Amino acid sequence: MTDRVHVLPGSFNVRDLGGLATADGRSVRAGAVFRSDYPAFAEREDGADVRRLGLRTVVDLRRGTEAAVERVPWEDHGVAYHRCPITAFEKSSWEARYAAYLQDRPETVVEAVELVLSPANHPVLFHCAAGKDRTGLVAALVLSVLGVPEEEIVADYALSADSVVHIVGRLNGIDLYRELFGELDADAQHPHPEHMEGLLAWLRAYGGAERWLLDHGLGADRIAAARSALLE
């Protein structure tokens, strides 16, 4: 297990993007950007784990129906909360059609990435329900514009494999997810590297993640500021 992984009660897929190396020999700064499954660790009233991560901002990638079922009272912790629901048309997010996320309401994807990249929001945590699919998409875009090589992005995505059994067990206990997907199977939800490789290939054919983000409204100044703040 990498030392970027945080073992926190109630959550199974929390890790720091810090420490990942870039193609030019730098690395992503630790303690600034975190990815997660549903951050149940923050439901503790004492907020000890929220303080441990030093969170200033949370970006929730789930739909309103999901947030209505489970939502951390971030205001009680003094953390700014933003919800940027990422969808994939009628395609199941559990079937790894990640490029579809970029075609339905792309402005929401750009908003999420901008919030994550903004130095004023750090330390920031972004999450969905499992911390694998929608979260994996945003992580891939963020890491790509920071210059992290594709093989490292794929490897980070694959780290969710260690948590799938626990996450699927939790989601199968929630009526909403059983209604949406039926009984989830852990093997079917495994983060196969080729799923992320397919997204990266799609972005490469487009002209790259940075080109896609610029074309859909993210300012070049925002990317420059993020690189200055997050790379060392």
DSSP characters over 20-56: PBPTTS-BBPTTSEEEESS-GGGGSTT-HHHHHHT--
Q: Are 62 and 55 in contact (CB under 8 A)?
A: no
Confidence of residue 116 (pLDDT cuts 50, 70, 90): very high
Q: How many CA atoms lie within 13 A of 223 on its CB side?
A: 18
Tokens of 47: 């907020």
Instruction: Give CA separation, 9 vs 56, 80, 89, 133, in Å.
Output: 20, 22, 33, 22
Residues forming the active site: 128
- Which pLDDT value is given to residue 96? 55
Backbone angles phi, psi at 45, to 5 degrees: -65, -30
Confidence of residue 143 (pLDDT cuts 50, 70, 90): very high
- Which pLDDT value is given to residue 89? 67
Domains of the chain: 5-217 (3.90.190.10)
Q: If you average pLDDT over every residue of the chain, what do you get?
A: 92
Is 129 exposed, middle or buried (CB count within 10 Å of its CB: 0-12, 13-18, 19+)?
A: buried
- Which pLDDT value is given to residue 97? 76
Confidence of residue 187 (pLDDT cuts 50, 70, 90): confident
Maximal CA-CA distance, the chain: 47
Q: Is the peptide bond before 39 cis (omega within 30 degrees of 0)?
A: no
- Which pLDDT value is given to residue 50? 97
Q: pTM of the prediction?
A: 0.94
- Which pLDDT value is given to residue 18? 98
Confidence of residue 205 (pLDDT cuts 50, 70, 90): very high
CA-based nearest residue to 74, from 38, 98, 108: 38
Strands 33-36, 14-16: pairing is: antiparallel
- Which pLDDT value is given to residue 180? 74
Min mean pLDDT across 88-102, 136-150, 161-175 is at 88-102
